[in-house]
Structure formats: C-alpha cells, structure tokens
Amino acid sequence: MYLSLGNKKDVVSFKKALFTGLAPDKSLYYPIEVKKLSDDFWKNFKKMDTFSLAYNVLTGYINNEIPKENLFEIIKRTLDFNFPSVLVDKNIYSLELFHGPTMAFKDVGAKFMSACMDYFIKNENLNHKITVIVATSGDTGGAVANGFLGIDGVDVVILYPKEKVSEIQELQLTTLGNNVSALEVDGYFDKCQEMVKKTFVDKDLNKKLLTSANSINIARWIPQMLYYFIAYRDINTEKSNLVVSVPSGNFGNLCAGMLAKKMGLPINHFVASTNENDTIPKFMKTGEYKKQKTISTITNAMDVGNPSNFVRILNIYNNDFDNLKKELSAYKFSDKETILGIKELYHKSKYLLDPHGATAYLGLKKYMANNPKGIGLFLETAHPIKFLDTVESALNVKINIPEHILKLKKKKKSKIVIKNYEQLKCFLLSR
C-alpha cells in the first residue's frame, strides 16, 4: 500500500504507516499507486455531497483496512464544518480553511488521523498506551491536541517554542488538559523538532510506543486533497483553467493538491508562496536543493528551512525538474510585503486576510499578472483572529473577537517548561 521513499522495498499497510509515521530509515511513506478517479465519479462530481466526495477520493488509500461504514463515520467526524470559496476580487477566490475547531487548515488532517487511530485502538484491542508526540511552530499543536483530546489509549505531548507562538495559539495548546500535555521549550522550533526526532531513536524510550503527528504522517497528509476537490466542485470554472496558490512551509498542503491533480482533478497551475524561508523558490530557479537555517517571520507556521514534504512532490513529478517547472511557480514574500498584501485586499474589498493567506494572495496576483487568463484560488489557511496583533496593526482597526476565543482567554494555561532533551526524556519516562 505504502512504500518508503528511502527504500522502495519497504512496503507497509495504511495502519502501519499511520502508527509509525516515518519509515525505519527515517524517510517518508508514499502510496504505491495513485489511481485515477473513474468516469463515473466525474459524471457526478459537481453535485456530489462533501462526505461522498471525500469517501470516493480517500477509499483507495485505506484499502479496506477500515470497513466502509466506519470510514464514512470517520469522514463525517472529520469534515463537520464548511470550506467555502469566497469571491474576493475579480476572478479571485479565497478558499477558507479556517472554520474548524482551532481555526487553521490543519484541523482536517489532525481529526482524520486521530479518528483513524481511534478506530484501530477500539477495534483491535491494543492495550498499550500510545504516546503521540509533536513539535509545533504554532498551528499543528492546537489541531493535534484538539483532534486527540479525550481519545482513550492516547497520550498527547506537544513541544512548542517559548514566545514564538501567538497568544491564541498558546491558549489552544495549554488549556485543554485531560490527555494533552504542553511542553514549552526554551529555544526555536527547530530545537523542538530535533528533540522529537531524538525520542524515536532513543532505546530507553523504545517501549513507550511513540508516534509522531507531524504532517509527514500519511493520515494527516492525504485528506488535505479534499480542499482542492471541494473548491473545484464549488467554483464555476471551465475545465482546466484554475490556478491555485498555497502558502507553504513544510509543503504538505501543496503536495496534497498535486496528488489530487494526479488523480485527475484538472488544476492548471500551482503557485507556492513562501516567506523569507525560500528554499523552494530558490530550488525552482536553480534546480539545486539547499536546505537553509530557519528564519523567524510573522507567518510563523511557514518558518521551515528544510521542507520535509518536498521529496513527495519530486516523486509525484518523477524527479523531472522541467515537468515540475511547467506546473509550479514559487515566490517568496517579506514580512513587509505580506503586510501590504493584507492592506491591499482589505482596502479593495474589506476582506480580512491572515498573514499566511496574504502571502498566498500575493503569489497568485504575481503569477496572474503574467498569466491573466483563468480563475485564481488561494488557500486562506488560518483565521485572521489567530494573528490578531499583526492584522490589527497592519490595518489600524480593532477586530471583534469571537465568543469562543474570549472564553479561551479566561482559561488557565497549564504547561511544563523544559530546557533540554534530558528533561523531555525524564518527562516521558515518568508517565
């Protein structure tokens, strides 16, 4: 079903890939086969409801390991909010992916992953506690914590960098309690990620059944395809003229869009929009991949210098650089430009962008300036309220805070401060 991109003879089931995250050689899993959707599917596509659409797209990747009724239940549980495409400018749509519980697009992947694990734990009587451990630069932690909250048999441990996440992001991580522990790390995101990786090769922790919930996990990655299918269904576009711009950090979301295309979704062109962490825009110019040191920006969820999912993109394009170039453009934007982007669209159509969505909007405009035909869609990956300070100071306005956020602000934060790997290990062993 899935093979390791490091060793193509290492083939595992969906369940195995779900519970291990990474292959033993630390490379990523990838579906052995990407099947085209049937003519029948396309005949009904435009009027298909979201759950059926999702079932048709995902079922091939689960390969009967979860029975049909259960998979349908998982899908219903995962997609219990809306994904509207909103017209914000002439021929430009914003695909709003922030209507979920933690107001960022990662909710879908996190909910799907937790629901699948929940299914296997309940139905196969695993009687050992599983620890899901995850490093976050902001949005992943909240989405994963929320997805796994209250699931029996799973302990969630989240590492986040001190003072590098927004106020609301921190509240979302630290106020859940129950089976969720938040560890504040004295250092940058990279340090958190390093520490998480170290736990997987630490022999003393072997018995703990650790698993990662970062976007490299196929159960978080694959369902992101649905955004592209849903948007294509909802937008009135003639065949093959849709351009999609994706704000990118670890490149899982964009990569899922490309997988959707491989299944037959007729997207004409992709734009990868990044912040100053421009490893991929540089790669698209030179063909040479050079990982970079991470730079902190106002789009913190995209502060990644060595995007893990890019190898999957190369695989989709059979490592053919010229082919990839035909279908992908990549641009970087500075914080200054991003703030100008927020201002531009607000003054034009009173539409509020979060900084991540703003880079995607700018990338789309840049591409469409030279390719004006067609319909543009950018992915608005977080609610602007999550980045309140940046958005308010860019626009000089006060934004109304929704009720559920005000409630969050009244809750008490609960976190454990750790300085180094030894302290993390102690914490895990004590549980």
Q: Does 215 bind ligand PLP (CB under 6 A)?
A: yes
Q: How near is the Cβ of 106 to ligand PLP at its closest, in Å?
A: 5
Per DSSP, what are the bridge partners of residue 375?
Answer: 242
For residue 37, the one-letter residue type is: L
Site residue total, ligand PLP (CB under 6 A): 16
d(CA 192, CA 186): 9
d(CA 119, CA 126): 11
Torsion sign over Cα 212, 214, 218, 223: positive
Q: Does 174 bind ligand PLP (CB under 6 A)?
A: no
Q: How near is the Cβ of 72 to ligand PLP at its closest, in Å?
A: 26
x/- mask, ligand PLP, residues 296-315, rule CB under 6 A, reads: -----xx-------------
Count the alpha carbons within 13 Å of 70 in the hemisphere toward its beta carbon: 14
For residue 84, the one-letter residue type is: P
Per DSSP, what are the bridge partners of residue 74?
Answer: none
Q: Does 139 bind ligand PLP (CB under 6 A)?
A: yes
Q: Does 381 bind ligand PLP (CB under 6 A)?
A: yes
Q: Does 208 bind ligand PLP (CB under 6 A)?
A: no
List all residues 6 or more positions away from 124 whose beta carbon is below 8 Å from its beta carbon. Answer: none
Near ligand PLP by CB under 6 A: residue from 4, 172, 211, 248 = 248
Q: CB under 6 A: which stretch of 166-174, 250-258, 262-270, 286-294 binds ligand PLP?
A: 250-258
Q: Does 252 bind ligand PLP (CB under 6 A)?
A: yes
C-beta closer to ligand PLP: residue 61 or 105: 105
Near ligand PLP by CB under 6 A: residue from 251, 270, 346, 378 = 251
Q: CB under 6 A: which stretch of 123-131, 200-208, 244-252, 409-417 binds ligand PLP?
A: 244-252
Q: CB under 6 A: which stretch of 55-63, 67-75, 188-196, 247-255 binds ligand PLP?
A: 247-255
Near ligand PLP by CB under 6 A: residue from 1, 58, 106, 208 = 106
Q: How near is the Cβ of 140 to ligand PLP at its closest, in Å?
A: 6
Contacts of the segment 52-55: beta carbons below 8 A, 24+ positions apart: 53/226, 53/229, 53/230, 53/233, 54/78, 54/79, 54/223, 54/226, 54/229
d(CA 83, CA 96): 6
C-beta closer to ligand PLP: residue 139 or 184: 139
Catalytic-residue membership of 285: no
Q: How near is the Cβ of 184 to ligand PLP at its closest, in Å?
A: 19
Q: How near is the Cβ of 319 to ligand PLP at its closest, in Å?
A: 20
Residues 194, 161 contacting (CB under 8 angstroms): no
d(CA 319, CA 323): 9
Cα 391 to its chain centre, rounded Å, is: 22
d(CA 292, CA 272): 17
Q: How near is the Cβ of 111 to ligand PLP at its closest, in Å?
A: 15
- What strands lie across the sheet with 416-418, from one edge to the other? 210-212, 130-135, 154-161, 180-185, 416-418
Q: Pick the catalytic residue: 47, 90, 106, 239? A: 106
Q: Does 147 bind ligand PLP (CB under 6 A)?
A: no
d(CA 240, CA 261): 11
Q: CB under 6 A: which stretch of 18-26, 40-48, 88-96, 251-259 binds ligand PLP?
A: 251-259
The residues that are catalytic are 106
What residues line the site for ligand PLP (CB under 6 A)?
104, 106, 139, 215, 247-253, 301-302, 356, 381-382
